[in-house]
Structures are given as structure tokens and as C-alpha cells.
Structure 1
Amino acid sequence: MQVNFRTLSAWRQHPRQAPKKEHHAFVLVMVAYMADKAKRRNSTYVPRPTGWWRDLLRQLRAENDGRRGGRPPAAKTDAPAGLGSLPRRPANFTGRRDQLAQLLEQLEPSFEPDSDKPTLTTIAGMGGVGKTTLAVEAAHQAASRGWFPGDVLFADLKENASGDNSDVGSVLDRFLRDVGIKVKDVPPDDEGRIALWHAHLRKRAAEQQPVLIVLDNIHEPKLARELRPDPPHRMVVTSRQTLSTLPARPLPLKPFTSSESLELLDVTLRAAQPSDDRISVHHNDATELAELCGHLPLALHIVSALLRDEPDRPLADQVAELAEARTRLDVLAYDDEQGRPLAVRAAFDVSYRRLPPEVARTFRLLSCTPGADMSTQAVSALLDRPAPSARRVAAALLRAHLLEKHPGERWAMHDLVRIFSVEQGTVCADQDERKAATERLFKYYLTVAEAAQAHLDPAGIKTSASSAPGLFATGADALAWLEQERSVLVAVAVTAAPLGHHDISYLLSRVLVTFLQLRRHLDDWVLVAKIACTLSTQLGDLALCIDDVANLGVALGNKGEHAEALKTLEYAARGFTALRQPAGAAGTVIERSSVLCRMGNYQEALEAAQEAQRMLEHLDDERRMALAKHAEGLALRHLGQAANALDAHTAGEKSFDRTRDPRGTAVSMNSRGIALRHQGKLQEALAVHRAAAEAMAQLEDPQGQAVALHGMGQVYLLMEEYDQAVEVLSRVHHVMAENEDPVLAASAIYHRGMAHQGLGNWDAALHDFDLAVANFREIGDNSRFEAVQSQRGATLARQAMVQFQQGAFLEDHQRSGEAAAAFEQAAHQAQKSAETFRELDDTEREAAMLAFHEESLARARRAALPAERTDQPTTGRT
């Protein structure tokens, strides 16, 4: 046996002895016979699949032909390039563990295909996502396990992907010859070749010799449909198209996850130089590098090759080179080890050039949006075609994997695809009428935003006659649309002016103010306020400019940039005075009072609020007078003048009511509830807070409703109705989880912890205090952080004392083991309490808790030795 196998292997060392092509079939029969005989004799020989022997014979014959000299035979042109045996196994294969497992499950011999589990698997995804790599790796693993002794056939169709009959015939011509059928026996027509192909597969099936067919880079499903085998054979198809018409198990591929991207970079760099630890050491730079590559395997492989060329280059340098979007695709290009070009741009270009003209134009125009994604309605406006038609074109790009679909009927591009789209769109800008399409899109956003803003503030500014108020049935619908499109709307406000649409940028910036203020999107509010200031200055309209400066001052004050806010408001006040607009000047003084109150300068805040009221005495502006009264009430409350604060809030509430400003009324009502609470009128305060919460709910203002509910929760705490407090404050936390107000969310968690403490739920209380501490620390609110941390330390101390008392009780009742455990728990809580007070530099309470910790440990040791117990009962100290 061994001699015969050595003889076969010797052909590699002595090519002239290699069998002629007409003897290949005989050699394969002989190999199969010897492998079977070795198996029956329990030989250690591991049989090779038929495909391996066929590849060996083909290579040996090629070596023989190369030694004969003379001109090499001309390449045949009747078959697509890339056909032939399975490519080499991918080096350093990483990622795709789940997808590889799914594919191998489909290929495994015990898998029984049926209508729900077909023999065909389609791997679809964008160019460069790693479809071929996955298919080849799976094929190699399946072959090495001996699953396909009949053969493993591979065809790469990327250069010949039209899917017409010539492709079917060419592929079959090569496959039939690869499986040993003589050229003279291959039918000249496609129908005959198809019939012979399936006859061959039936023969292999009867011989229990399954075949695996891999068709790489097909464009149309026809070829796969014609060649698709019956069980036990299998077929794997890769495509840039979603081939939903094929009876196949789909295996869609998306870009790598962040961890998979970092693994690929690390493995490929260490493969070239095991000591290359740039990925593991510089994690942040590596993460940013992977993001700039869009987690696309092709881009990651190219970057890793660039980094291997320069082992001493810092990752930060490569990050900086990729950061410029205009040149990123230029960087992502490299020649592989065989001299073949690898380029992300080229990979996308293959998919792009297959698009029908109208779909290609849509692909180019979709990059006009400055946002991350677009709704179907926005695509409709961009293309100036009905929504159903726009959706069909978008769906065509989705099938070509040049577009992604997100929840809520939204369409987005991969970052690198977007860069490619911009490149193509720039080249074809004139023929696509790109400028007009961009203007349509921006006007669509402005028009709908105006309609939404009209629901939120009916008395607000009217910026355009083109708005469509009937677009939204309710304020909730308007608010939901604004929230969903917020990032796009802000991006349009930022980019419209540089593109020449100054009016759209300015009007949209003003329209968004009410929404951004209401939902506390403070960074965006400051940003659009600055844009409005810049553009109104360019317009030369002093009145608009001063109004925009005042709005910027309000935004800065809400964001916490107090010094800048005061300076900006002072500038606005001088402007209003110069323009002889005393009401506007009074408004800036009211906002100045609010900023001073946030800064803790309550006396100055009171004086500013009262100054504003004097300025408004002779003006018929009851709304601003209501705001001034409200500001006065806030300052008085913080100064401890609860009765005067209550009078001011009551007066302000009545003024808001007369001006028919329901939101102002509700805000002032809630402030009145706080003043009542400070006076100890808890039942009345509870009723007022509840009414304010209901009013905010009717106004579809979740943030305002949460503020009122928070007030209710605090009243319940004072009334020691802790169950009610936990319920209401949990509602606040739930509402704030969907709205940006981290201070209110953290405060609600803290007060809920107080309620849990009142119920004796120590673990729940500490959990809430820990959350509140983390939140206040994150937002930089040191005073509240210290207050909550102090409460946390006190809670740990109380819990320790309760455990100590429990230990003493158990000890008195001769339950020594349980007593020792209780004292140990008391010691543990006391130590944690001491650590908390140490962090607050509260040395007195830290020392007390350390002493308590030592005493608890001593009592634990004493309880563990019942023979040494004394009969003297001991109580815990406070």
C-alpha cells in the first residue's frame, strides 16, 4: 500500500513520469480503490478527496507542459476568467464565526435538505464585505472533513457576470471537463451540457460521492438555477445582489463588528511580525481606525497591509491620513501578494456600473443629504417623484447592497459607499441636476419643520408661506417627527448656507428653537442659535440680529455657560434699547434673572426680576410680565421666602392663563406647588403638582410632565407615603430615559432611593444612590454629587447599625452563628460607609464608622465563640 502511494507522490518529484491526461480517470479510480483498501485494513492513511488528487494531476501536467519549451499554448477565450479549482484557503481567517457555523451546518452531510432547507446557500453583501473569503473557507473546511469526495468545483464569475446563456455554457464546459468528461463527449449546445451535468451529478449521488459547487460573484440567478444540484450535493453562491428568486437559504453579510475588526487587524499584523502590538496597546487609535474603514473587511485588509509595510508607523498617523473623507478611498488601495490591485473604490465601482441609469442617478443623489439617513418621504422630495416610485428605486439599491434599510422606513449608506457616491455625484452633478435636487430636499425639511413647529408653538414665528400645517394630526405626531429627524434637521441648518442656501439655513435655525428648547437638546440649541446670529449679521438686519443674540443668550444659560450667557444677554439688552424696543430689553433682563438663579446668586436674580417688572409696568405685555413674576418667585423661594414666592407664582400663573399660554400656566402651576411644599402645605402641593402633570400630558410635553411628577414624588416623600413616591419617581425615570435631561433623571433616581430607604429596602436604596452618584459625577454637578454621596454613606451607616442590632438580638437568643454573620455584615457596611465619607473628606464621620467597623468585627469574633459569651446584653451605638 505504502509503495503505491509513494509512487503517486513521486510524480511530483519526477514530472516526466506524470500520467498523461487520458490516464487521469484511471489514476483516480486506482486512488479510490487503494483508499478503500487502506480503510478496511485499519491503516493510518488519511484519504484525500478526489478534488485534491485532480488538482495534483492538473498541476503535474502543467509542470510537464512548462518543461517542454516553445511558445506556451494560447489562452482559451471561450470560458470566463477565474474558473477552475478552489482558491487557496484564506490566510489568518478571522471573524464570521456565526456565519461560518451556519454555512457548515448547511454543508454537513447529515443535513437533510427539503423545501425549507434547500441544497443552495446564497451569500450576499456589499463589495469588499468578505463573501468570497467566507465561501472559500467553508469549502476548504468541508473538503478537509471529507464531506465532498465527489469533487469541489469553483467558478469566479466577476469578469463575466451578465448571466446570459454563454455563461451557463462556458461554466458547464469547464466543469464537465474538470470532472473527467472528455472534450469530444461534451455537447456543443447548452441544453445538452445541462443534461449531461445533471446526469453526472446523479451518477455521483448513486456512488455516494457528493459534490460541492461554489459559484462566486454571480449577478443574475439564472446560472445558479441551471446548475443547482439535488441532494446530497450542495451549492454555495456569492453575489452583490440579493437573489431572492432562488430557492436558497440566504446568508446576508454585513461589515464586521468592532471586535471582529480589531481582531482582524491584530491577527494580520502579528502574522507578519509577532511582536507587533500596535492594535492591543493603542486601543483607542485602533478603534478609530476600524471605524474609518467602516469595519469593511477589504478596507481593513488594505490598512493592515499598509501598516505591515511600516512596522514603526504609529496608528495615529494612519488614522490622520484616513480622516480626510475626500482622499480616504485613495488611501484604501493596495496590490496583493500576486500583484492584483485591491481597492475599495474598485469594489464599489463593480456594483455601481451594473445599475440601470435611473437607479445609478438615485445612488448619486442620495449623498446630497447631510444626515445619516433619510425617510422615504425625503427621498421622494429629493428625486421629485411620488413616494411609491422613490421607494422602488431605493429598494433596487438595497438589493444591490449599495443602500441599507433602517427601522422606520429609513435609508442609509455605509460611510465608504457614501464617499464613493459623493465622488460619482460630483462628476455627474450637471446631468443629475444635483443642485436643484439638494434645494428640493432642504426645502422639504424646512416646510415640514415649520408645520411641526406650528403645533408646538401656535403663536410662534411664521417663517415661510410654504408651510403645510395639515401634515400632522397632533402635537405628539409633530414632536415625534422632529425627534426622529433632529440630527438631519440640524445638519441641514449647518450645511445649507455653505452650499448657497442661506435663507433655508437661517429660517430652519429659527424654526428649530422651540423644539430644541422644549426637549432640552442644549448642544443643538446653542449650535443653531449661533448659526442664526451669524446669518442675520450677514443679512444686515439689526432687529433680527439682536433677537437672535438674545436667543443665543438663553440657550447658553440653559446649557450652563453662565458667564457667556450673561455677556450675550447684556449685549442683546443694549441692542433692544438702541432699537427702542423696551419689551425686548425687559425680556433679556428676565433671562438674566434665570441665569443668576442657576448660578446661585439669588439676591441678584430677585433684583433683576423686579427690575424687569418695573420696565414692563407701562407696557401692554402681560406674557413677559408673567415670566418676570415667575422669575421673581424662583428667586424668593431660594431665598427662603416661601410665602412671597407663593404670591409671585400665583400672580404669574394668572397672567399666563389670561394670555392663553397653557404651557406657561402649567410651568407656573408646578412652581406654585413647590412653594406650597416649602410652606408645609403638602396636600395642597400634591394636588397642584398633579394638575400640572395632567396639563403637561395634555400638551404632549413629556419633559414638563416629568418635572411635575418629580414634584409629586418629593411631596409623597415628605408625607412618608414611600410606596407612592417609588411609583411616581419610577415614572419620572422612565420618561427621562427617552428624553435628554440628565439632571432631572439623576434627581429622580436619588429621591427614589430615599423612598426605598424609608421602606427599609436597603439594597434598592443603595442601588439608586449609586446610579445617582454616577450620573451627577458624569454631568459635573459636584454639589449634588456630594449630597447624594453623603446620603449614600449615611444609608450604609444605618444599614450597618440595623445589622448590628440584629446580631445583638440573635446573640441574646443563643443563635451564635447567625449573630456572627450579622455582625460581619455590619462591619462590611460600616467599612463601605467609612470609604464613602473618606471620599467626601468628612473625617469625623469616617472615624466614627471605622470605630464602628472594629467594634462589629470584635462582636463577630465573640459571637463565634459561644463559650466565652457574657450574659450582658449589648445594644448598638449611634
Structure 2
Amino acid sequence: MTAEFGVLGTVEARIDGRSADLGHARQRCVLGVLLVEAGRPVTVDQLIDRVWGAHVPQRAAGALYSYLSRLRRAVAAAPGVEIRRDPGGYLLTVDPQAVDLHRFRDLMTSARAAESDRVAADLITEALGLWRAEPFAGLDTPWLGAMRRTLLAERFAAELDRNDVLLRLGRHGELLPALSAAVAEHPLDERLAGQAMLALYRCGRQADADEQYRRIRRSLADELGSDPGVALRALHEQILVASPSLDVAVAGGPPATATLVPAQLPADVRAFTGRTGELAALDRLLVAPGGDEPPLTVVLLSGTAGVGKSALAIRWGHRVRDSFPDGQLYVNLRGYDAEQPVAVADALAGFLTALGVRGPEIPPGTDERAGRYRSELTGRRMLVLLDNASSVEQVRPLLPGTGSCLVLVTSRDSLPGMVAVHGAERVNLDLLPLPDALALLRKLIGVRVDAEPAAAEALAAACARLPLALRIAAELAAERADVPLAELVAELGDYRGRLDLLDAGGDPRAEVRAVFSWSYQNLPAAAARVFRLLGLHPGESADVGAVAALTGTAPGEARRLLGVLTRASLVQAGRGGRYGMHDLLRAYAAELAVGQEPEVERRAALDRLFDHCLAAAGDPDSARDWIEAERSNLAAICVYGAAHGWYRHTVELADSLFHHLDAGGPVAEAVTVTAAAVSAASATGDRAAQARSLSQLGRLHRRQGRLHEAAATYRRALDLYAQLSSPAASALVVRNLGSVYWRLGDYREAASHYRQAWELYTDAGDKAGQADALVRLGLVDGRLGDQVRAAERFGSALELYAGLGDRFSEAYVLSLLARLPQHPAGLDRAAAELERSLGAVRRAGDRTAEAYALTDLAAVQARQGRLGEAAAQLRRALVLHQRIGDRASEAEALNDLGQVLCAAGEAAEARVRHGQALELAEEIGDRYETARAHDGLAAASRAAGDLAGARPHVEQARRIYADLRVHQ
């Protein structure tokens, strides 16, 4: 009987492979504490503190004893496992290797002391494989939370160690996608950034490696006010000069001489490109396992049609054939071919002939032939390549009976039986990375790739970076040498046309449609229908719920059928239970849907999908995580719906998305969604929806700094609201139009619109609107030098907000009052209220409001003389504005940061920040921020002793301020 315990995920216990009943959450907390401290006593007080934290019930000790008694019974059957009372407290006796946490730590200790990188890589991979989810998933006490953070840090350190090892092994290509995702999650980690830079450089992407360095340098400056460390700077310098020290070390002597043995491998593929990571993974499989573990005999190379499985297998076979001195056998089983697949008996006959068995000696039956085949291979060191297998049954009789041979199988199917029954090691083959795709095109069509780099990238994307499709497209380009690549890309732009064009002279093995059809024709009918309907989905991926809605099936059935498609490599399973297809497969699936599904069925499928999305997004607060995960798909659905008649769905879905994206999502994506809503509402003549969408679109244009476009959009919305006699809605648009004029520096127009908004809000009895309009008018007064009038308006607004209980807006107005010369006493109150507001918006996940609150808090802290804190807040605000795409606010925050830095004596960085603000403000047409940037550059220049450099900026600032009639 065996026992296994886990905390690296849910707290669990498995005895003889069966889960033990550990009871409710609090009881599992007790076991979690004991497992962390396995072999060490834990006092009663420690247990109570770690299980209940600050909320200890009156009878905690009694409850604890009850939990421990139940846990004893739960693990009583496990050999060598005991929970007992010691003088020092309660102690769990258990083999540390039976607890995933302690096994993880032991494996990492061994890995860091390993004599070779290959051994270290295996040990770290095994250690990380123990993690199922976040530690103590579903449990939450202060102690567990702290321990969770500690363990996640250990895991991150292990991942970084593995990255270093894999980089030393030359597996940079394999590692790069994971590194890119990790860098996005940990943008300030210098060790991780260095690993990504090295991987990019070794993948031939020196410019991208340089940009990665610049990106972390900017992030460190913005977030921490520091520069990269010595090690990262040194690596960057080596990358810039292409230092040979960055190359992967190559070991090994001359190959052994091959003997006269079967050599059936096809010719190596011309212009083979990339796949360094996969080749390294295959190389690693040649290393003999230690201990009593039998040698690996089967490797499964799986991936979608046209991804280059056969080419890679053949390339690797030639690369390692000297490791197989007794020869190489090869057969194309044609498991997905339009012709009849190769019969197993025929494949065995071919192998026996190659092994020297004379025709009369070859047995007649399949089983007898398989037996003779195994006998002939006994004691031989051979490579057997079984290409294009469609099933385990097609492969099993061709497996040797000796560990001295290695079988490499390629298949579009994941063939789980090969792994489960025969212990095969699977290597999954994905699409070519873009640099490798371009390198392949360069080999095939030469200098045209470098002459038209953008078109070459577009061509690679149009071919979904499939080697097969790239080769076919290259043949097209070669035949039409006088046609620019850009024109060829344009012809390939339409999916259906793309499938027609990528037709290599009628060869069924090279024509993409035929290649895909070979996989499709082997599907069960239900799975084939799911594949067809997936081609209708406008987005790039779908979760199980969306697929269930699209196909009209239950989620469980949808998941099962997606599994069938995944095993056939017709869809790819991604993170978070999502499934997608590359472009060519999607085009093929859509073509099948049009050809085989009646229009009414296609329409009904998309109706169900749109209804599903509307229902899921109906409550933006509760659906926040779902919307965030589905953002790009929902945007695509909105655009598709507006273009193809799902107008109501588009308008309602876009409205939900706007509120989510406006709270911190990318502005550019929000523009796409909202513009689709405007189009859909126009198509139905729904003037109210059109006006609302135009108002939202104007706000987005304003945040992007497209001020004149924002003004025009707002005017269109106002015209519609006038027709609808909607003064309340008109008031908001008028107020927002005033803010456009404010940004443009036309304060007379800004004030006029703010006054008009105040009147409309007053007529409507909207006190919050009145307060907001008063604030805007006060800002205009302050900018024009009338501080007394500004204070009066702010005071009136503050009274209105107080009456409404709007503490967030109160905090903002308090900060405005505290910044006026006559109100310094309000600084402490304003800072306290802003800090409270900041916590609230962070809890709500509103990144836009968080950025504004940080900026306001920084202004108050600067007036308090807390310059370091103010600079830190502004750096955080800048990061948020940049992520969101709020360029107007970004320019303002840059100037604010420059002023704070200059006041703190950091003139050099202040000049940099004001320079960035100047460039951005001039680009978007914000004249006031342009003047502030010149003013700041002048101040920073004077602080640095550069009086001559300050003079032109002083003159520019004065000219703009005078033109704006602003008193500084």
C-alpha cells in the first residue's frame, strides 16, 4: 500500500491511488500545516494561529482536537504515516518523498548539484511536474497565504534555473515562447529578461533582444527609478557585438564510420530551416536512462497537417544515423493519405527484405512476419522511422522487441495508446516561429524577402507559418517572379481564395486542402460537424462553453469531441481550457461548413454563440474575469456581427465590453469594438444606440489624443440626442466635448460647454452632473489665473458630492482644493482620502481610475514635500496609462513626474521625462502640456547649469501660455 500527499495544488491525500476524505476546508488547513512541517512538531498555539489567524473562535482548541482525530482516521490505512502528540506539539510522521513539497525541494537540491545539464534538466522538469496549481488551492489563512507566496517564489526560482540549463543545452528555440510569456508576467525581473535576450539572440533575433533590454530598462526606470544591473548590461553589450561567447557550446568528436546496412531514410529535405528546440529535444532522448529504467524505444512526433513532422523526422534521422550503426528502416504508412493506407503486412515484408530475409523465407501471415521481424532486430542498434501513422494498431506490429532499437513515429493524432501502453515519449511540433518562417522563405525565394520585409512577414502569416504552405507559396512566388510579394499576399488574403491558390499543380500530397482533408475524412461524424462549425467562429479560439453553444451540444459532449479533434491535430488545446485552429485550418473548416451545412444551420449556430456571449457578459462586474479572458474573441465577434447582420447582439455586447475596457482595458481594442457598435446601430436605425456608441467612441478618441476626431464624433452624438430630446444624455456629451476643447487649449469654448452641461444637469436634477460641471469650470478658472473663483466652484462641488456620499469624487475635489495656494491646510485630509480611494479602485480592478488616483495623490504628496513617494506614484500611473493607451493622460503624467524629479534634484531624468512629454503632447495637439513640457525642460536645464539650453524653452513656453492666455 502506498501513500501520497500534496499541497502544491489542493491539499490532498491518496492512499493506494484513491483520494482520502480530508473533510472541510478548516480541517484540510490543519493537514496542510502538518505536511509543510512534516517530521517536525507543531505546537497547539501555532496550529491555531496558522489555521484561524486573527479570527480564533472561542472553542478553537476543542475544534482542533476534533480535526486531528478525524485526520488520524483518514490516513490510518497509510503505511508509515501517523499523526501523534509529542512533548513539543503535534507531529506528522511521513516519508518526505511522499509529500510533493518535500520531493520538489529534494529534486531541486539534486538538480543544482547535478554533474551534467541533461541530468539537471530532467530533475527540474520532474520537480516542476509535481505542481498542480497554486499551493493550498481553495484555502485562505494569513499563514497559508504567506507560505503560498514563499512556495510560488521557489517555483519561479526553479523555472529560472531550468531556463538557464536549457539555454546551456541549446534549447533556446523551444524555450522562447515560455520565456516571452514569463517576461510579460514578470516585467522587472532582470534574470528572466537576460534569459529572454539570450534566447532571442540565439534564434537570430538580435534586434528583438536589444528591444527586450530597452523595455526592461524603461520599466525599471519607471517603476523603481533604477537602471539594469551589471550582469544584464554586460549581456546587452555582448549581444550588440555578437560575441562568440554567447554561442551554444558544441561537444563531441568525429562520427563513427557507418557500415553497409539498410539505409532507407529518404533524402534530407532541401532548405530545412529552424526546429532547433525540437531537434535538441530529440537528441536528449538518445541519452540512456539511469538505474533499472529500460531504454526508451518509441518516440512519437505529433502535430497538425503540413507542420513539417516528416521533414523534421528525416532531418533528425540523418543527423543521428551514426548513433545507429546497424542502419535505418523507413516506411510511409500513408495513414491519412487519399490512397489506401499501407497494410501492416506489406510494411513488415518490406522491412524483412531490407534486413536480408529472402522472399521465400518471409512468412505469409502478419503475426508471423512481426515475429520474424522482431527476431531479426534482436541485438541490432537500428533506427526505425514510421511516417504518417494514423492509429496505434498500424504501429504496434512494427515495434521491435529489443531496447537496442529506437522507433520514431510521426502522426497527426496524439496516439495516447502509444504513451500509455508502450511508454512512448511525445514531442509536439508547433508552427514555425516567425524568424524561422522568414528564413525558410529566404532560402526558397532569395533576396525578395529582404527587399519586401513587411510583405514577407504577411506572407508567412497568410500561410499560418506552416512549412508545407510556405513551400507552396514560395513556389507561387518563384513562378511569378515579376509580381511583388505584396500583391501575392493580397491575393492570399481571402481564406477561400487562399486555399485555391495554394494548390501545387494537383499533387494531392502538396495541395493544402487535400492534406487537411485526409485528416478530416478520418473523423467521426459528430467530431467532423464540430470541426466545420468551429470554422464559423469569428475569434481565434473558443472555450468549451462557446463550442457547446456554437454546436448546440452539452458542455461535456463538446469537451469530448474537442478531445477527438485535438488528438487529430485539427485543433490545438491552449491555456485555460481554450481551443483554436491556425488560419488555414480555419479557412478549410469554414469552407466545409459552407459546403455541407445549410445556411439556416450556420445562422442558428452563430445565433447560439452570440446569445451565449451576451448572457455571459451581461453583468460586467461578476463576468470581469471571463470578459478579460475572452476580450480578443469578443472584439472579433462584434466586428463580425456588425458586418453580417447580428446588429442587436453587437450593440449589446459592445456596450458590456466598453464598460470593461474603459475601466483599464486597451483603448485601441475598445475603439474597434465601439466602432462596430456604431455601425450596427446605424444599420438598424436605432438612433439611441447609435448616439450612445458615438458618445463612447468620442471618449475613446479623446483618451487616445485624437482630439479633433473626438470632437467630430461628439457632435454626431449630440445631433442624434437632440433628435431624441434626451437632455440628460446630451449633458454628458456636451461636458465631454468641453474636455476636448480643454485639451486643445481653447478655454473659452471649454467653459461655454461646461456651463451648458451644468444647465442641462440642473434641469434634469442630476446633482452629480452639476458637481462635475462645477469642477470643470473651476479647472478652467484656475488655469486662467482666477484661483478665488476656482476655489468657490470646487467648494460648491464638494458640498454636492458630500450630500451624495460620493467619497471618490470628494477625494478628487479635496486634492484640487489642496493644490490651491490658499488651501494648504487640506493636504493631509486630501492625501488620506485619496489613499482610501486608491485602495477601493484597486480592489474593484479599475485600472483607469487607479491611474487617475495615483496622479492626484502624487500632486498632493509633492505639495507636502514627499517627493520620493510622489515620483513613485507617478511612475506607477505612467505604466498604467501606457498599458491602457491613454496618451493624453500619459503626457500629463510625464510632465508631473518631470516637475517632481526636478524639485528632488534629479535634473537629468527630469529632462528626459519632459522631453517625452513634449514629443507626445505635440503629436496629440495638447498645447497646454506642450507648454508645460517646455517650461519643465527650461527648469531642468537651469538646474543642470545649462542656461543657454533653457532659453529657447522659456521662450516657447511663454509664447504658448500667452496664446492660451494662461497665467503661470
User: Is TM (by shorter chain) over 0.5?
Assistant: yes
Q: What does residue range 275-354 of structure 1 map to in structure 2 within 5 Å? A: 277-335=447-505, 342-354=510-522
Task: List per-residue Cα deviations over 1:476-516 (Å, max 9, x = no partner).
Answer: xx333323322322322222244333322233334444334
Q: Which runs of 5+ in 1 are unaligned?
A: 1-43, 56-84, 271-276, 456-471, 473-477, 802-829, 845-878
Instruction: Report the AA paired with residue 694 of structure 1.
Output: G
Bigger mean CA offset, 526-535 vs 775-784 = 775-784
Residue number among 277, 285, 291 corresponding to 1:106 in the alignment: 285
1:689 equivalenced with 2:689 (yes/no): no
Residue number among 380, 385, 388 corresponding to 1:217 in the alignment: 388
Contact 2:635 2:673 (C-alpha < 8 Å) held by counterparts: yes
What is aligned with 1:187?
Answer: 363
Bigger mean CA offset, 612-621 vs 409-418 = 612-621
**1:289 offset after TM fit, Å?**
1.2
Separation in 2, partners of 1:221, 1:406: 25
Q: What does residue range 604-619 of structure 1 map to in structure 2 within 5 Å? A: 604-619=749-764
Going from structure 1 to structure 2, the CA distance change for 1:510 and 1:752 (only over 3 Å counts) comes to closer
Secondary structure, aligned partner of 2:343: helix
Q: Which runs of 5+ in 2 are unaligned?
A: 1-253, 958-968
What is aligned with 2:399?
Answer: 228
Separation in 1, partners of 2:926, 2:259: 69
Contact 2:704 2:886 (C-alpha < 8 Å) held by counterparts: no
Separation in 2, partners of 1:324, 1:162: 26
Separation in 2, partners of 1:414, 1:304: 19
The count of residues paired between Structure 1 and Structure 2 equals 696
TM-score normalised by the chain length of structure 1:
0.71
Going from structure 1 to structure 2, the CA distance change for 1:768 and 1:603 (only over 3 Å counts) comes to closer
**1:783 offset after TM fit, Å?**
6.6
Instruction: Report the AA paired with residue 90 of structure 1.
Output: V
Q: What does residue range 497-516 of structure 1 map to in structure 2 within 5 Å? A: 497-516=642-661
**1:136 offset after TM fit, Å?**
0.9
Going from structure 1 to structure 2, the CA distance change for 1:432 and 1:175 (only over 3 Å counts) comes to farther
**1:776 offset after TM fit, Å?**
6.2
1:666 equivalenced with 2:808 (yes/no): yes
1:254 equivalenced with 2:461 (yes/no): no
What is aligned with 2:302?
Answer: 124
Task: List per-residue Cα deviations over 1:38-88 (Å, max 9, x = no partner).
Answer: xxxxxx99955323xx57xxxxxxxxxxxxxxxxxxxxxxxxxxxxx3211
**1:377 offset after TM fit, Å?**
1.9
Separation in 2, partners of 1:744, 1:211: 67
**1:192 offset after TM fit, Å?**
2.1
**1:295 offset after TM fit, Å?**
0.9
Secondary structure, aligned partner of 1:333: coil
Contact 1:128 1:298 (C-alpha < 8 Å) held by counterparts: yes
**1:420 offset after TM fit, Å?**
0.7
Secondary structure, aligned partner of 1:213: strand
The alignment's C-alpha RMSD in Å is 3.8
**1:594 offset after TM fit, Å?**
2.1
Contact 1:163 1:220 (C-alpha < 8 Å) held by counterparts: no
Instruction: Report the AA paired with residue 104 of structure 1.
Output: D
1:141 equivalenced with 2:319 (yes/no): yes
**1:442 offset after TM fit, Å?**
0.3
**1:216 offset after TM fit, Å?**
0.2
Contact 2:333 2:341 (C-alpha < 8 Å) held by counterparts: no
**1:222 offset after TM fit, Å?**
3.2
Secondary structure, aligned partner of 1:732: helix
1:196 equivalenced with 2:372 (yes/no): yes
**1:327 offset after TM fit, Å?**
0.3
Instruction: Report the AA paired with residue 241 of structure 1.
Output: D
1:49 equivalenced with 2:259 (yes/no): yes
Contact 2:329 2:351 (C-alpha < 8 Å) held by counterparts: yes
Separation in 1, partners of 2:756, 2:915: 43
Bigger mean CA offset, 399-408 vs 611-620 = 611-620
What is aligned with 1:487?
Answer: 632
Contact 2:744 2:925 (C-alpha < 8 Å) held by counterparts: no
**1:154 offset after TM fit, Å?**
0.2
What is aligned with 1:90?
Answer: 269
Secondary structure, aligned partner of 2:523: coil
Separation in 1, partners of 2:785, 2:591: 64
Contact 1:123 1:131 (C-alpha < 8 Å) held by counterparts: yes
What is aligned with 1:364?
Answer: 532
Residue number among 405, 415, 430 corresponding to 1:243 in the alignment: 415
Secondary structure, aligned partner of 2:300: strand
**1:766 offset after TM fit, Å?**
7.0
1:600 equivalenced with 2:745 (yes/no): yes
What is aligned with 1:156?
Answer: 332
Q: What does residue range 574-585 of structure 1 map to in structure 2 within 5 Å? A: 575-577=720-722, 579-585=724-730
Going from structure 1 to structure 2, the CA distance change for 1:568 and 1:148 (only over 3 Å counts) comes to closer
Contact 1:667 1:704 (C-alpha < 8 Å) held by counterparts: no
Separation in 1, partners of 2:599, 2:719: 51
**1:742 offset after TM fit, Å?**
4.2
Separation in 2, partners of 1:501, 1:158: 44
Separation in 1, partners of 2:336, 2:531: 24
Separation in 2, partners of 1:764, 1:690: 27
Separation in 1, partners of 2:535, 2:619: 26
Task: List per-residue Cα deviations over 1:781-818 (Å, max 9, x = no partner).
Answer: 6875785587568657756x6xxxxxxxxxxxxxxxxx
Contact 1:365 1:432 (C-alpha < 8 Å) held by counterparts: no
Contact 1:161 1:220 (C-alpha < 8 Å) held by counterparts: no
**1:650 offset after TM fit, Å?**
3.9
Residue number among 508, 519, 524 corresponding to 2:664 in the alignment: 519
Task: List per-residue Cα deviations over 1:393-444 (Å, max 9, x = no partner).
Answer: 2222222211123322222110111111100111122299222111010011
Instruction: Report the AA paired with residue 167 of structure 1.
Output: A
What is aligned with 1:16?
Answer: none
**1:261 offset after TM fit, Å?**
0.9
**1:752 offset after TM fit, Å?**
4.7
**1:138 offset after TM fit, Å?**
1.5
Contact 1:176 1:197 (C-alpha < 8 Å) held by counterparts: yes
Contact 1:334 1:342 (C-alpha < 8 Å) held by counterparts: yes
Separation in 2, partners of 1:253, 1:722: 53
What is aligned with 1:638?
Answer: 783
**1:215 offset after TM fit, Å?**
0.3
Contact 2:674 2:693 (C-alpha < 8 Å) held by counterparts: yes
What is aligned with 1:23?
Answer: none
Separation in 2, partners of 1:671, 1:601: 23
Contact 1:556 1:564 (C-alpha < 8 Å) held by counterparts: yes
Task: List per-residue Cα deviations over 1:679-698 (Å, max 9, x = no partner).
Answer: 36243442343243234335
Task: List per-residue Cα deviations over 1:218-269 (Å, max 9, x = no partner).
Answer: 1112343433333322111111011333212222111111110111111122
Contact 2:745 2:927 (C-alpha < 8 Å) held by counterparts: no
Secondary structure, aligned partner of 1:342: coil
Separation in 1, partners of 2:332, 2:570: 21
**1:609 offset after TM fit, Å?**
1.9
Separation in 2, partners of 1:588, 1:771: 31
Contact 1:746 1:775 (C-alpha < 8 Å) held by counterparts: yes
What is aligned with 2:11?
Answer: none
Contact 1:519 1:740 (C-alpha < 8 Å) held by counterparts: no
Bigger mean CA offset, 517-526 vs 596-605 = 517-526
1:266 equivalenced with 2:408 (yes/no): no
What is aligned with 1:376?
Answer: 544
Contact 2:777 2:793 (C-alpha < 8 Å) held by counterparts: yes
Instruction: Report the AA paired with residue 94 of structure 1.
Output: T
Going from structure 1 to structure 2, the CA distance change for 1:556 and 1:446 (only over 3 Å counts) comes to same
Going from structure 1 to structure 2, the CA distance change for 1:643 and 1:692 (only over 3 Å counts) comes to farther
Instruction: Report the AA paired with residue 243 of structure 1.
Output: L
Separation in 1, partners of 2:875, 2:290: 52
